[in-house]
């Protein structure tokens, strides 16, 4: 029989734009559940931010990723959204607001060069994300 744990809410303060390594928060939530096998879900309830997995060893990877997204989705005067942040909504939609990972051996299954990142596209703001663990 599987167990479903209450989601844990985390708050982070962001800058104007950036990627914030949240792997330690996810690891903390998983370790507190004391399970060996399962799944962990990460959810970002914002329309101008997202979550992703990418390399964790070279800080240029996340800055290059943000630069690439800005080139692909620049701020245009043609956008009609009255708040003026349509570029951030587009980036968020392309990045995605949720992910899941397998838990094996009591830890989220990540590659040796991978980390989980919260990505801000319209800050600075206090942001939240949720981590929910399910035992399988």
Higher pLDDT, 8 or 79: 8
Residue 30 lies in a domain: yes
Give mean pLDDT, residues 1-9.
89
**Using CA atoms, how far apart are residues 86 and 122, in angstroms rounded to an integer?**
10
Q: Render the burial of 56-86: b for 16+ CB within 10 Å, e for the rest.
A: beeeebbeebbeebeeebeeeeeeeeeeebb
CATH number at 61 reads 2.60.120.460
Q: Which residue has the tokens 């792997």?
A: 23
Q: Which two tokens stand for residue 72?
A: 């692909």
Give mean pLDDT, residues 21-39.
97
Is the pLDDT at 127 greater than 70? The verdict is yes
Q: What proportion of the chain, given as a percentage, has pLDDT over 70?
A: 96
Give mean pLDDT, residues 81-90.
78
Residue 3 lies in a domain: no
Average pLDDT, the chain: 94
Residue 2 lies in a domain: no
Quickly state the pLDDT bin for 82 (edges 50, 70, 90).
low
> CA 33: distance to chain centroid?
21
CA-based nearest residue to 129, from 97, 101, 107: 97
Residue 87 lies in a domain: yes
Which range marks the domain in which residue 67 is found?
8-135
Residue 99 lies in a domain: yes
Count how many domains the chain has.
1
Residue 92 lies in a domain: yes
Across 10-14, 69-73, 105-109, least confident range: 69-73
Is the pLDDT at 84 greater than 80? The verdict is no
Say what angle helices 60-72 and 86-95 make with each other, to 10 degrees: 120
Is the pLDDT at 6 greater than 80? The verdict is yes
Residue 1 lies in a domain: no
Residue 16 lies in a domain: yes
pTM: 0.94
**Using CA atoms, how far apart are residues 67 and 17, in angstroms rounded to an integer?**
10
């Amino acid at each position: 029989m599987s167990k479903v744990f209450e989601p844990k809410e985390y708050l982070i303060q962001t800058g104007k734009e950036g990627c914030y390594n949240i792997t330690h928060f996810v690891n903390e939530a998983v370790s507190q559940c004391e399970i060996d096998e399962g799944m962990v879900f990460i959810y970002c309830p914002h329309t101008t931010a997202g979550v992703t997995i990418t390399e964790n060893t070279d800080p240029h990877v996340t800055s290059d990723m943000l630069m690439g997204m800005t080139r692909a989705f620049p701020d245009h005067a043609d956008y009609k959204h009255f708040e003026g942040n349509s570029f951030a909504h587009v980036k968020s939609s392309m990045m995605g607001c949720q992910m899941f990972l397998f838990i094996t051996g009591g830890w989220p299954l990540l590659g040796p060069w991978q980390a989980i990142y919260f990505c801000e596209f319209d800050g600075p703001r206090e942001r939240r994300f949720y981590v929910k663990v399910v035992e399988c």
